[in-house]
Structure 1
C-alpha cells in the first residue's frame, strides 16, 4: 500500500500538483483506506494529472473504478485509495483537508 501511495504522490508532484496531502483513514469507518488530495492550477491541469495517473498506474495493475470530474474537482476512485484533484478555490471553500484530518484522528 505504501508503494502505491508513494507512486501517486510522485506522479502528482512531478506534474506540478500542489499541496499534496495523504490522509490515512483506515479503520475510521470511511469508504476508502487512504485519500490523496492535490491542488490543481486549472481544469486542463486537473485533466493532465488524471491522465498521467492512468498512464503510469494502469501498467502497474492499478484499477480505475470511477472518475468524476468537472472544472474544479476531479475524484479518482481506485477502490481503497481515493484521489481528489481540486482547484485552490474549491479546496479553501470546502475545507476537505480539515474534514479528512478529523476523520484520520478518529473524531468524525
Structure 2
C-alpha cells in the first residue's frame, strides 16, 4: 500500500510540474525529498519571467490542486514589486516560483543536491 501511495504522490508531483512547464515555466524540476526530510516530500522549482507570469501559474496551480483535492496550506504573499519568489505549500508538495535572479541567488538545487531529480524540463 505504501508503494502505491508513493507512486500516486510522485505522479501528482510530476503532473503538476508538467502543467507548470506547459504554461511556460522555465527550467522546471521536481526534487524528491522523502529520504531527506519529514515535513514535505517534493519540491517543484520553476523560473518565471514576470509577475504576471507568476500570477498566471499560481492560478493554474490552484486549479490543479482543486481538481486533485489537494489543500493549499500556505501561499507566501508579497507586494507585486517584490515578487521574486512565491512559495506554495501543498503539504507533501512545495512549489517554488522564482525569478531568474532569485533562483540563481538561492540556488535551491545546489542546497538540496542530495535529493534525487524525478522530473526535469529545460526551456
User: Does residue 4 of structure 1 match 2:12?
Assistant: yes
Task: List alignment gaps of at least 5 residues for structure 2.
Answer: 1-8, 117-123
Provide the alpha-carbon RMSD of the alignment: 1.4
Give the equivalent residue in structure 2 for 1:24: 32
Give the equivalent residue in structure 2 for 1:94: 106
Q: TM-score, normalised by structure 1?
A: 0.88
8 Å CA contact 2:16–2:64 kept in 1: the answer is no
Shift of 1:57: 2.4
Specify which of 67, 72, 80 is matched with residue 75 of structure 2. Answer: 67
Local SS of the residue matching 1:101: coil
Task: List alignment gaps of at least 5 residues for structure 1.
Answer: none
1 or 2 for the larger relative contact order (CA 8 Å, sep ≥6)? 2
Number of aligned positions between the proteins: 104
2-side partners of 1:43 and 1:96: how far apart? 20
2-side partners of 1:64 and 1:46: how far apart? 16
Pairing of 1:30-49 with structure 2 (within 5 A): 31-49=39-57
Which ranges of 4 or more aligned residues in structure 1 deviate by more than 2 Å?
A: none
2-side partners of 1:86 and 1:69: how far apart? 13
2-side partners of 1:69 and 1:38: how far apart? 17
Bigger Rg over Cα: 2
Shift of 1:30: 5.2
